[in-house]
Amino acid sequence: MQYIDKLVDEVRICEFGALTHAKAAVPEPEAETAVPNPPASIKSKHPPAEDDAEGENDEETSESFKSTKAKRSTPQVTNQPVSQKDDEDENDGKTSKVFKSKRAKPGPKGQPKADKCAHCLNQEYFCDRNLSSNDSNVPCSKCRRWNKNVDKVWGKRDSHPIFRPCLSLPTTNLKEELLLTPRNHAVAQSEHQNQYKLNHNSPRARKTMRQQPNIVITGTPGVGKSTHAEAVAARTNLTHLTINDFARERGCLDGHDNRLNSAIVDDDRLLDALTAEGVKEKGGYIIDWHACDLYPESWIDLVVVVRADVEVLQKRLVGRGYEGEKLQENIDSEFFQVLLEEARESYEEEIVVELKSDETGDLDANVERIVSWVETWRTNRASENEDDDIETGAT
Ligand SMILES: Nc1ncnc2c1ncn2[C@@H]1O[C@H](COP(=O)(O)OP(=O)(O)OP(=O)(O)O)[C@@H](O)[C@H]1O
């Protein structure tokens, strides 16, 4: 419950144990009425244009490296201009300049910051004191996120206890209201859609050389990524790749964040190591890490964002010994669904699914769905291989 006390604080990152940055842009809410296509073979779902853009012909050149938010442990987020990102992506998939910056590297110093953004001026209950801009007319990242999410998460903006103070000061205890309001209402709806998507949607409609799928399992520390990944790996023979361990083993660390007591991962080196591992070509990996935005889109076939109720998560993290700032930032990140938004911004909507993991029953159901997805992917892959053999005249 303590998370509410610091709701106004900047969502910062932690690395290896805590989470991430405030995002400058928030995607539009998921289309509530989107109905996934019926299952079909991978091939039948490949529009030629997409194949051309992302198939094996141009290999890495069209890859969209997305690690533009490299300073994960900084309060300020520096957004990479799109044009620069595209230019750098052309360097044949090897680590582009975008990756030169390290995660959790300290941000720019010395810039005077406005105390509050224009929006915060009237929103004293959640003003953002760590603005990424020194222009007070630019809404801070937290205000932008709240504006986007408040209707979605709370149903109606007017019913949100934090917005009410804008009209009149609250008459009841703010914390109590926050806890009593059914904030999971909209989350439950979108969860239903996500599960439907996972159950019914065809695996990635993209031609790939891989014979096995790659799955990213992401989420705030403690939501259950590793538990899911292990269970799915055991059922599917996919390789569970814990990035924390992988980065350490392959020398991809770049120092230590003393404030958060977390190792700092160098994106550049990590992607080089993953490339050397053959993640893109071979496939067959379940990539388990809280960050999901650094992998090229063409590497990934499914992104699972594991979610947990903040109170459940808090108990888990406290049980692990998290406390203070590190605990708070993780709870805030889950509350603000930072990782879900990051996934939605970084990958096509059709491959991103959000799965709740509060109880054992959730875990079992989620694993079942992911396993079923893998089986369908493999079936479609085999079917495409057969088609290719027929086309090439192979026996
Ligand atoms: N659905 C669930 N029901 C009950 N307990 C769960 C569930 N999912 C995870 N847990 C428990 O929560 C704890 C954290 O799980 P896990 O280590 O898988 O999280 P994580 O997201 O991988 O964390 P990290 O990012 O720090 O590695 C574990 O004790 C696990 O048993």
Average pLDDT in the chain: 63
Q: How far is CA 327 from CA 69, 97, 113, 244, 307, in A?
A: 22, 32, 26, 19, 16
Helix (H) or strand (E) holding 306: strand 302-307
Q: Is 222 annotated as a binding residue?
A: yes
Backbone angles phi, psi at 44, to 5 degrees: -65, -15
Note the ipTM here: 0.98
Among 159-163, 190-194, 258-262, the least confident range: 159-163
7-16, 60-69, 235-244: which is most confident? 235-244
Return d(Cα 63, Cα 92) in angstroms, integer. Answer: 8
Ligand 1 atom with the shortest distance to the CA of 360:
3
Is 56 exposed, middle or buried (CB count within 10 Å of its CB: 0-12, 13-18, 19+)? exposed
Taking residues 171-176, report their average pLDDT: 36
Taking residues 34-57, report their average pLDDT: 34
Give the closest residue (by CA) to ligand 1 atom 16: 224
251-290: pLDDT as tens digits: 999 888 877 777 889 888 899 999 999 998 899 999 999 9
- How far does the centroid of ligand 1 lie from the alpha carbon of residue 225, in Å? 6
Identify the residues whose C-beta falls under 6 Å from ligand 1.
17, 219, 221-227, 290, 316, 357, 359-360, 362-363
77-136: pLDDT as tens digits: 233 333 333 333 333 333 332 223 333 332 333 444 445 455 544 443 333 333 444 555
Taking residues 207-234, report their average pLDDT: 92
Whole-number pLDDT of residue 267: 86
Q: Is 55 annotated as a binding residue?
A: no
More confident position, 127 or 386: 386
8-23: pLDDT as tens digits: 343 333 333 444 333 3
Give the closest residue (by CA) to ligand 1 atom 18: 224
- Confidence tier at 218 by pLDDT (50, 70, 90): very high
- How far does the centroid of ligand 1 lie from the alpha carbon of residue 346, in Å? 24
- How far does the centroid of ligand 1 lie from the alpha carbon of residue 217, in Å? 12
Ligand 1 atom with the shortest distance to the CA of 306:
21
297-334: pLDDT as tens digits: 889 999 999 999 999 999 999 999 988 888 888 888 89
Residue 100 CB-half CA count within 13 A: 7
- How far does the centroid of ligand 1 lie from the alpha carbon of residue 242, in Å? 13
- How far does the centroid of ligand 1 lie from the alpha carbon of residue 222, in Å? 5
Domains present along the chain, CATH in parentheses: 2-392 (3.40.50.300)
- Kindly state the DSSP code that residue 111 receives in the 8-state scheme: -
Whole-number pLDDT of residue 245: 93
pLDDT value at 373 more than 60: yes
Contacts of 105 (CB under 8 A, 6+ apart): 70, 71, 73, 74, 254, 264
Whole-number pLDDT of residue 248: 93
Whole-number pLDDT of residue 144: 54
pLDDT over 90 for what percent of the chain? 24
More confident position, 228 or 201: 228
Give me the amino acid identity at 8. Answer: V
Give the closest residue (by CA) to ligand 1 atom 10: 224
- Confidence tier at 228 by pLDDT (50, 70, 90): very high
More confident position, 120 or 207: 207
Return d(Cα 212, Cα 283) in angstroms, integer. Answer: 5
Q: Is 224 annotated as a binding residue?
A: yes
Whole-number pLDDT of residue 156: 45
Whole-number pLDDT of residue 143: 53
CA-CA-CA-CA dihedral for 66, 68, 258, 219, to nearest 10: -40
Whole-number pLDDT of residue 210: 87
pLDDT value at 39 more than 90: no
Which residue shows structure tokens 């499914």?
A: 302
By the 8 A CB rule, do 128 and 143 touch?
yes
Q: How far is CA 35 from CA 42, 130, 204, 301, in A?
A: 18, 40, 15, 19
325-334: pLDDT as tens digits: 888 888 888 9
pLDDT over 70 for what percent of the chain? 46
- How far does the centroid of ligand 1 lie from the alpha carbon of residue 230, in Å? 11
Give the closest residue (by CA) to ligand 1 atom 29: 316
pLDDT value at 51 more than 70: no
The residues facing 215 across adjacent strands are 286, 302
Is 180 exposed, middle or buried (CB count within 10 Å of its CB: 0-12, 13-18, 19+)? exposed
Ligand 1 atom with the shortest distance to the CA of 223:
21
- How far does the centroid of ligand 1 lie from the alpha carbon of residue 147, in Å? 30
- How far does the centroid of ligand 1 lie from the alpha carbon of residue 204, in Å? 27
Give the closest residue (by CA) to ligand 1 atom 25: 221
Taking residues 49-59, report their average pLDDT: 37
Please, what is the angle between helix 324-335 and helix 310-319, to 10°? 150
Q: Is 107 annotated as a binding residue?
A: no
Mutate to test the pocket of ligand 1, among 245, 265, 306, 316 (most ligand atoms within 8 A of CB): 316
Secondary structure tally for the chain: helices H, strands E: 14, 7
Mutate to test the pocket of ligand 1, among 216, 226, 329, 331 (most ligand atoms within 8 A of CB): 226
